[in-house]
Structure 1
Amino acid sequence: QIKPKPVKLDELGTQAFGAAHLLKDRSNVKILGPQIEDLIPCIIISMGTGVSYSALSIDNKVKHVGGSPLGGGTLLGLANLLIQVNNFDEILRLANIGKTSTLDLLISDIYGQNYGNTLLSDVCASSFAKASIEHKTAPKEDIAASLLSAICYSIAGGAATVARAEKVTSLVFVGGFLSMEGSIPDSLYKSASLFNKEISLIFPENHRYAGAIGAALRASELQ
């Protein structure tokens, strides 16, 4: 009879440990932005029901540096209220078909062109604003697209701010609220790189399992 002994681990530290392990295999890592050689130090963004930001130093020390309540739980909850869809894959499918420009107020809608060197014409100035300004209704595909974009903008903008404070340019994304298919990576990059073109977004192939991998590795070290 197997009697497993529980091992207590720090959740955020375990996520970071798993992410660091995934970064060792460069062939299974996708990078948006500058193709950097050294992936660590970095900010690890754990995208789950909510979002946490952890700084990982070059000597593998981890500290929790921030977070956001806007995450996968927000997407599912608001999608359920707005378009009566409560399935992540279905929301992604709809968002990939839809257009954010139907409901989002863009820089081009305000200025007719780019604003300076940082705000390009296709950057979102206000999510869902056209629904109020123009009293618009929209198909569920466009609602899903704007909702997903709004949450991604918030997550990546916060991550970029934390990265600036920690003086790093690498953002590593892991967690269940992440898909390499469709608009999520591009939305994250568009937001994160608005005011810092040197920033790199890093997506390990097995990003969903960073926590489980970190827990297994840490537990084996403690046996």
Structure 2
Amino acid sequence: MAQDKAPAMCEKAACPNIGECWNKHHAAMMILGSVCTRACAFCNVATGTPDKLDPHEPENLARAIKKLNLKYVVITSVDRDDLLDGGVSQFVKCIEEIRKITPETTIEILTPDFLNKKGAFEAIAVASPDVYNHNIETVPRLYAKIRPRARYFHSLYLLKMVKQTNPKLFTKSGLMVGLGETKEEVLQVMDDLRNAEVDFITIGQYLQPTPKHAKVDRYITPEEFEHYNILLILKDF
């Protein structure tokens, strides 16, 4: 990370909602480099040999947030399966530096699954961001196609354990639709996340970032989204 400059995940992932969020002084910053060790079928972030960790990244990130006057920031990262702790220590340092330099900023942490990294997500929960987000992404049946190196029930376990580790934390997860899932499968994911004590769920239309990524199966209608919204309210999200 360059001095006083943080790479925005919004740009790296070619997010179509970038203008709406940035206009509200919200942004997602990506740490741990710009190259991922995984190759999920929906994600536009580059896959390959990861960058070396920048020891000054936490401080530079906090300075960038202050300079941009961000009211709300999401700190996310590439998957770093090559690191012993998956990059957890860098997440913790970033939280600490943001609290020190710009304590008024609300911090949401959006983490990978830290598969096979013992104690990883619990350590971030103890560092007490305002929100701990880990996206479930899709329904279990589509994991082999969409998230081939991830495990659905591990992600549920992560969210459950974060809440148990720090009950004061808000937990959050996101689900993409339009990948070929059924309505019944979406409802099951809602129930699974409710059982994992997740506080907030976001449901959004999957958009294909490039022709090489997973194709859009269909576009969900506004009426269907409204139906999902009603169900989330009924399920106490």
**Structure-1-length-normalised TM-score:** 0.31
What TM-score, normalized to structure 2? 0.29
- Is the radius of gyration larger for structure 1 or structure 2? 1
Highest relative contact order (Cα 8 Å, sep 6+), 1 or 2? Answer: 1
